[in-house]
Amino acid sequence: MIEYNISYKKPWRHFIDFELKFETNGCEKIILKLASWRPGRYELANYAQYIQKWSVFSINGKRLKFKKIDKDSWLIECNGLEKVKVKYNFYANLLNAGSSFLDENQLYINPVNCIFYIENRIDEKYKLTLDIPSNYKIATSLSKKGNTLYSENFDSLAESPIICSKNLQHNSYEVDNILFHLWFEGSCKPNWKKLISDFKRFTQSQINHFGDFPVDEYHFLFQITPYRSYHGVEHTKNTVLLLGPSDDLMTERYDDLLGVCSHELYHTWNIKSIRPIEMLPYDYSKENYFRTGYVAEGVTTYMGDLFLINSKVFSWDDFIKTQNQNLYRHLMNYGRFNLSVADSGFDSWLDGYKMGTPDRKVSIYPDGALCMLMIDLNIIKNSDTKHSLHCVMKDLYTKYAKKEIGYSEDDFKSLCTKYGGNEVSKIFQNHIYGTSDYIPSLKKSIEIVGLKLVEKKNPDLLCRYFGIVSQISNNKLIIKKVEPNSTADQNGIGPEDIIIEINNNKNVKDYKEILTKSDNLVSMKIEKKLALKYVELEKGNYFKLLEFKKEYNISDNQSKCQKKWLS
């Protein structure tokens, strides 16, 4: 068993102190490894960069020799000892759903960030003792006795975040004899009655569609911030949700709360249980390349929202808003013509989740979700409403996940085409593995359930008039990307240029008001990296948008398909 003692002295410095003890099992040399990434975030994080001090001792306190042999591996000379002790600290000053954080109010640990495993002994049991204030509560899915936590192996530990705080608020609900916990850390006032009612509905709906739940207990761990935030990370028996501002939690941000929670709960089946073959098991030491990010996140993004309407937690307007958000993100990204959604997921290991090179790739979330919408509707049509994408996912669960078999790209495609036929094959060819324009296929697919696409004016006037996507940072209006062949592009305006005047007005943060009052010809002063540029731009219509709308006179067959879709 690997034994950990976790403590801290001055929480405002954000350093967590770790002491671990383990038996050498007769080995003269042992390699300790820290994960270089975390499941659910398919990019290298290199957590070893947050370690400030690291040393190793015999149980009697004698220092032992060690050396670092790569970016996150330490080689220890055991010198015939039966047991050794390692001490190190970890800088925990990042607060998101997958990080670790320490301050005067809480100790928050994602073990995959900061807990070591022994090479070739990843299945060893763990015991974690937390040295925390006596009035702190502990929220975690790990087995717990007092302040001591237990894990059967590193995989289980890596999947089990821990929040310790005196301010934790807790409630629970039960569905099909499974207990679901709700933990809130942060200044907020949860409406427990509303939360439990809505959570029961979408939880029950998801379980009904799969037939059962992969685990015997589940925890929703909320980090509620006073500022605007939105992030979720899935785990086998729990999820962490970062959301704010706290004052808007049960009002303006409530739909976002429901959306991210339904999404992360669906991950309990899809990616935590239904696993791509490339990630069974995880290799924490390097990239785990796979092309089915459109399944892991595209299906989950689509299904998370679909379950909110079929459980009657969301209204039609709430649901279609989520689909329009996916469509908006797709249309605002010209990467859709450069890299397919499958290859974009593969390349997350290259450039992560940041914007990066403009229009280089798409997102596995909205673009994957739109592909899954098209596949789902075509399965419904091809099967005369007998089947849907739910059947594909249930097959993956029963025939692969339950037998601990990873699925391949061909497995998923074969199941979809088995139920959906030739039209689904075309979607894979043209959109999942190709860069053909989504819109003709999308129009044809949504007609199945009596929907249409209508034009919508881009609400951002810099986008609409000139083809400029901008961001205000440090009181500067920075251009992030430009639509190819737009008037801005043709006049030599590019990413990272800064707009410093519009029509001789230096208060460019109010560009909407300025442009609303301006004539058809607009002057701009642009700060480039090495020069100033003056341009006159004629208003046009760029970054054109579309949105989903209901048709009101639909056929009986369209009505039948729509009912199946939303059931």
| The pLDDT of residue 79 is above 90 | no
Q: What is the pLDDT of residue 356?
A: 85
Residue 154 CA to residue 125 CA, distance in Å, equals: 7
**Arithmetic mean of pLDDT, 45-63:** 96
Residue 354's pLDDT band (cuts 50, 70, 90): confident
Query: pLDDT tens, 441-479?
Result: 999 999 999 999 999 999 999 999 999 999 999 889 999
| The pLDDT of residue 355 is above 90 | no
Residues 192 and 239 in one domain: yes
Answer yes or no: is 263 within a domain: no
Residues 305 and 431 in one domain: yes
Residue 116 · residue 47 · CB < 8 Å? no
CATH number at residue 63: 2.60.40.3650
Residue 446 · residue 548 · CB < 8 Å? yes
Q: Tell me if the bond preceding 495 is cis, omega within 30° of 0.
A: no
| The pLDDT of residue 267 is above 90 | yes
Query: pLDDT tens, 189-211?
Result: 999 999 999 999 999 999 999 99
Q: What is the pLDDT of residue 61?
A: 93
Which residue, of 106, 131, 165, is where some domain finishes? 165
Residues 413 and 465 in one domain: no
| The pLDDT of residue 395 is above 90 | yes
Number of neighbouring beta carbons within 10 Å of residue 375: 28
| The pLDDT of residue 122 is above 90 | yes
Query: pLDDT tens, 15-29?
Result: 999 999 999 999 999
Residues 161 and 200 in one domain: no
Answer yes or no: is 545 within a domain: no
Residue 205 · residue 310 · CB < 8 Å? yes
pLDDT above 70 as % of the chain: 100
Phi and psi for 142 in degrees, rounded to 5?
A: -70, 155
Answer yes or no: is 530 within a domain: yes
Residues 322 and 448 in one domain: yes
Residues 229 and 343 in one domain: no
| The pLDDT of residue 130 is above 90 | yes
**Arithmetic mean of pLDDT, 352-366:** 93
Residue 409 CA to residue 164 CA, distance in Å, equals: 40
Residues 323 and 424 in one domain: yes
Query: pLDDT tens, 229-255?
Result: 999 999 999 999 999 999 999 999 999
Which residue, of 227, 258, 289, is where some domain finishes? 258
Work out the mean pLDDT of the chain and round it to a whole number: 97
Partner residues linked to 291 by β-bridges: none
| The pLDDT of residue 179 is above 90 | yes
Residues 52 and 188 in one domain: no
Number of neighbouring beta carbons within 10 Å of residue 536: 10
Answer yes or no: is 544 within a domain: no
Residue 483's pLDDT band (cuts 50, 70, 90): very high
Number of neighbouring beta carbons within 10 Å of residue 489: 16
Residue 100 CA to residue 18 CA, distance in Å, equals: 13
Residue 488 CA to residue 494 CA, distance in Å, equals: 8
**Arithmetic mean of pLDDT, 335-349:** 97
The SS3 call for residue 362 is: coil
C-alpha atoms less than 13 angstroms from C-alpha of 262 in its C-beta half-sphere = 32
CATH number at residue 478: 2.30.42.10
Which domain covers residue 104, as residue numbers? 2-165
